[in-house]
Every structure is written in structure tokens, then in C-alpha cells.
Amino acid sequence: MKTVVLNLGCKVNQCECDSLLAGLKDLGHEVSCDLVPADNYIINTCAVTKEAERKSRQYVGKAKKLNPKAKIYVIGCAAEKNAEQFVGKDVTYVSGTAKKEQVLSFIEGVHIVPLPLAYEYMAEGETFRSRHFVKIEDGCNNYCAYCVIPYLRGSVRSRSVESIFNECKKAAEHTDEIVLTGINITCYGEDIGTSLSELIRHLAVLPVRVRLGSLEASIITEDFLSAVEEAGNVCPHFHLSLQSGSNAVLEAMARRYTTEEYYEKVELIRSRFPVAAITTDIIVGFPAEREEEFLETLAFAEKVAFSDIHVFPYSRRHGTAAYPLGALDPAVVKDRADRLIVLRDRLKRSYESAFVGSSLDVVVESTDGLFAEGYSENYIRVYLPDRDYPIGKKVTAYVEGERADGLVAR
């Protein structure tokens, strides 16, 4: 029996897919995470944008083309948001974001169970990639105006420090980098009497570097940065979610900070980690965003000098506070995204070029016969002339020059 587990969406979904792959192996299944012919397909869907939902539905059709007799199991955020979009499409099973491991035992039907009040433990994944992703919490309490995820994932539920530590210790035998991920890891521990700072202190004893997933500006305090600094194994890379550089738009988005407060956090980071990578997410074309407010975003991004920006055109999501506001002309949204991408590329190149002539520690992710490539501690893609580098292991690289998408080193 061969079963394919397909992931759409975030790193949290990937962690959950790894857990399902481990469970399937225990049941004696031959498993894969590639879209190949199989007897069963488990599709872990995403609903963060309309495009993500469309791709989730599209994967059902792709699986059926590969094997018309295959059983298809649909789980995740898109199913939680609207299970009916998958019913009647030759789908055997539809479930949401809770109790995803039940897919291993259920045979057919729609099973949207209530969202849990405490962290829902799944089997630990055994697919150790070049970098191992560890899910530390689920859910979000922010309810930003544009985001549907809190309605689909529920409130914050944190995993125990002991459980996280044990998985990280196990993963450290296979890789030199662990990534802590979740829906909103800034709020980790609020429900169980601990914090992300305390978790970092516990993980400091591991012989592996730790990279933090997306953070909110509120977490950047002297205590938090002290925990990072004292641990010694946390990457100097802070992905600090922004979404807009206009205070008016931030207020309309129900974000809980101003650009002035955000910039204070950036300055605090750089006072401790002068060359740290500060990356971010920015949404362009939010319905309340006027041209002058978009220009404020461009100016603020330039002021912060981000090392990278994830640019997201606004996607209207039914059920969110922003849904009644409608949407801007798609041509306007595309134009703003294109302009921000030009700025992003310039800022990224400026940040990376400063490291030519210096040494960086790179965890090798892949090789193609010509180059080995991976990411440095400050999240720069680095290319090395291909040798027999072990995947997932750290090498010290001397940077000699630049490429269109990173740096070249030896």
C-alpha cells in the first residue's frame, strides 16, 4: 500500500505532514511526499489566500489523474474553512485542522471536529531534512483584520518544553539546524506558564543552531534578546512581521503597534546584534491602503533596511473583519507589489554584499553536481563549488563574490 502525503502552505503544515508520514510507516505503508502514483493521497490544505485554496482543490484533481481509483483524504485549513468545496469531488475523507492524525483511522466522510483547548500532540516526524522544523505551538489570538487563520486554527495552544526539547535533541543527531515554527510562536507558553525566552534557554545546551520562525514586534525586549544572546546557538536572524509601513493601514489591519514602536524594536535588535538579518512580511493592496500610504511603506522599508521582504498581494478572505471593505483594482495591487519587489531586491543585495570577504557558517541543503548550497546563520543563500558535503551539516565558508540570488564562497 503506497500513500502520498502532500503539503500546501506553512511550515506548521509541513511538521504535521512529517508526523503523518511517521504514522503511515508504522502502519506498514510505503510513503512519499511527492505527487506520484499511489493508492492513497493525504492532502494537507491551506487557506491563507484564495490562490492557496485553489491549489488545494487542484491537487485533488491531479491525484485523481495519477490514479482514478485512489482514495483521497483532505485535511487542514481549506477544509476547516469550507469542507463542502471538497465534497462530491471523489474525495474519500474530509477533515479540518483538529485531530489530523485521525485520518490514519477514518475511512470516509466529513469529520470536522471542534478545535481543541490544549496543544494536540502528534507523532514526531522522522523525515529529517537538511534543516529540521519543530512545531512548538498552534493557533493565534491576534485576529488581524485580513487573516482567516485564527478562525481555522483556534487560540494559542503550546507544546511542553520537555516534548520540544526531546524532539530537538533527536533531530540534532541528523542535522545542524533546527527551526522553531508555529502559527504564532511569539505567544508560545502563555497558556502553560512559560515563554519563548525560557524555551530558548532550555535549548541552549544542544549542539545545534536554532532558527526562530516568524515573530511579532512585541516579543523584542531586553529579556528576550538576553536569552538569545546568552544561548549562543540562536541564529542572528529575526523575521519580524510588519505588514505595512503606514500607521493608518496598520490600524485598519488591527495590528497592535505603530511604525515608531516597530522601529524601536529594530534598533534594540541591532544594539545587540549589529549585523543580524531582519526580514519581514508586507501585504500590498490592503483595501484601506491609498497610494500615499503605500509610499509610506516604501519609505519605512528603506529606513529599516530589511535584508529580505516577503511580498504578499492582499487576498480577500470571507469571514475576516476586512472582507466588507472590498478589494482594490488588481492592476493597482500588482503595480505596488512590483515596486516593492524592486526595493526588496536592492535592499537584499546591499545587505548581502557587505559579507564579501568574510566567513559564514552554512548548513548545506542540496547539491547539483556543480554547486552545493545552503543558508548562513543570518539567512543568506550561499553557493559552494560542489564537493562531497554532507547534507544538513554545517561548513565554514569564505565568501568570495555575489550571485543573482546569494553569495559564492569556498
- Please, what is the average pLDDT of the chain? 92
Yes or no: say if 7 and 13 are a contact pair by the CB < 8 Å rule.
yes
The C-alpha atoms of residue 214 and residue 180 are separated, in whole angstroms, by 9
Cα-flanking dihedrals φ and ψ of residue 266, to 5°? -60, -45
Q: Order of strands across the sheet with 93-95?
A: 30-32, 2-7, 40-45, 71-76, 93-95, 109-111
pLDDT, tens only, 169-219:
999 998 999 999 999 999 999 999 999 999 999 999 999 999 999 999 999
Q: Which residue from 259, 212, 220, 268 is spatially nearest to 237, judged by alpha carbons?
A: 212
Q: Which domains does the chain have, with CATH numbers?
A: 2-111 (3.40.50.12160), 132-351 (3.80.30.20), 359-409 (2.40.50)
pLDDT, tens only, 22-31:
888 888 899 8
Amino acid at 119: Y
State whether residue 345 is helix, strand or coil.
helix
pLDDT bin (cut points 50, 70, 90) of residue 297 is: very high
The C-alpha atoms of residue 137 and residue 191 are separated, in whole angstroms, by 10
Cα-flanking dihedrals φ and ψ of residue 51, to 5°? -65, -40
Question: Looking at residue 116, what DSSP letter applies?
Answer: P
Query: Distances from the Cα of 158 to the Cαs of 117, 165, 186, in angstroms?
Result: 10, 13, 11
Cα-flanking dihedrals φ and ψ of residue 82, to 5°? -155, 90
Minimum mean pLDDT range among 67-81, 134-148, 158-172 = 67-81
What is the separation, in whole angstroms, between the first and last Cα of the chain? 45
Q: Angle 140-146-151 (CA atoms, 0-180°, nearest 5)?
A: 40
pTM of the predicted model, to two decimals?
Answer: 0.85
Grid cell digits, residue 238: 529575526
Cα-flanking dihedrals φ and ψ of residue 195, to 5°? -160, 170
DSSP readout, 67-78? -TT-EEEEEEHH
Q: Order of strands across the sheet with 277-284?
A: 237-239, 277-284, 308-313
pLDDT, tens only, 326-352:
999 999 999 999 999 999 999 999 999
Residue linked to cell 511569539: 186
pLDDT bin (cut points 50, 70, 90) of residue 271 is: very high
Pairing of strands 359-367, 394-403: antiparallel
Grid cell digits, residue 23: 504514522
The C-alpha atoms of residue 312 and residue 283 are separated, in whole angstroms, by 5
